[in-house]
Structure 1
């Protein structure tokens, strides 16, 4: 059996909005079908509500918990929970707990979110250490979001 070549992004970690995002599978490895990342979110951090043009996105919570905003409602997602986000549905997440939370995020098709994470995030050498907290570079974040088909919405 031939093993696929690994993308140069696999294993790379970026920090974005209080979340460490580590690439596990990229569009280059999945023939564009999907992207898979591991996300570790610091306490009190997360993503603002947004809508994207991906076909779908899903979260599988591994540790801790998230408050997930989905289509106007907020629900608790804890370890072992799966959240499916269809195309065009407003969503976001926040770690309400006192310790980091961890989940897998899959995006279909692959590529759009990879581009966003790489353009809007800052590379880190250690996927287990959060850099010092600082406000995001909003012009950079919004420009990267626009290029990836992500529309940021006002906070819920």
Structure 2
């Protein structure tokens, strides 16, 4: 039997939450997409914000940069993405990202199949707060996400972009 597709709109009932201190909206969940995907909107990641270096065992990630500049590392390859850039992070490949420049970045994150968005929901707070690393590690393990630590050192050209932004803000 083929599942029936239904039309639906934004099911983000909780509004904006803070994931790792970042204002975030969960736009779609596995529950609202028949398990197909989850869609997360990171509204304003500040310059210098970086994800941990990590590997997903259960889902692929796709990133779409709306505003700002973000450096991505996939495996050991770095790239820089500006507005309108799409980056694919397949499962089993270590990856992470860092916001460059002197302005916040706005980015959509699509995970397939759905479910990863519940990791974000579980770790979210109602106001900005530093992450509880012990809790992050425990929840990540349950969601089959391996946290490897900080991002690998970025190439000199990317590090220079990040340093220029830091100097400009000083």
Name the TM-score, length of structure 2 as normaliser: 0.77
Q: What is the aligned counterpart of 2:27 among 24, 28, 40?
A: 24
Deviation at 1:65, TM superposition (A): 1.2
Unpaired segments ≥5 residues, structure 2? 153-170
**Which of 60, 63, 73 is residue 59 of structure 1 equivalent to?**
63
For residue 45 of structure 1, the aligned residue among 42, 46, 49 is 49
The total of aligned residue pairs comes to 146
**Deviation of 1:48 (Å):** 1.1
Quote the offset at 1:76 in angstroms. Answer: 0.4
Contact 1:68 1:74 in 2 (8 A): yes
- Give the structure with the larger strand fraction: 1
Cα deviation code 1:81-109 (max 9, x no counterpart): 10011110101111112111011110001
Q: Deviations over 1:42-80 (max 9, x none)?
A: 121121110012331100111111011111122101101
Match of 2:107 in 1: 103
Match of 2:144 among 119, 142, 149: 149
CA contact (8 A) 1:63 1:101 kept: yes
After TM superposition, the score normalised by the length of structure 1 is 0.83
Contact 1:10–1:26 under 8 Å retained in 2? no
Residues of 1 paired with 2:6 and 2:132: CA distance?
42
Given the superposition, is the C-alpha separation of residues 11 and 81 from structure 1 closer, same or farther in structure 2, using an over 3 Å criterion? Answer: farther
1:86 alignment partner, one of 64, 87, 90: 90
Once the 2 structures are TM-superposed, how far is the Cα of residue 5 of structure 1 from its aligned partner? 8.1
> Whose helix fraction is larger, Structure 1's or Structure 2's?
2
Q: CA RMSD in A?
A: 2.1
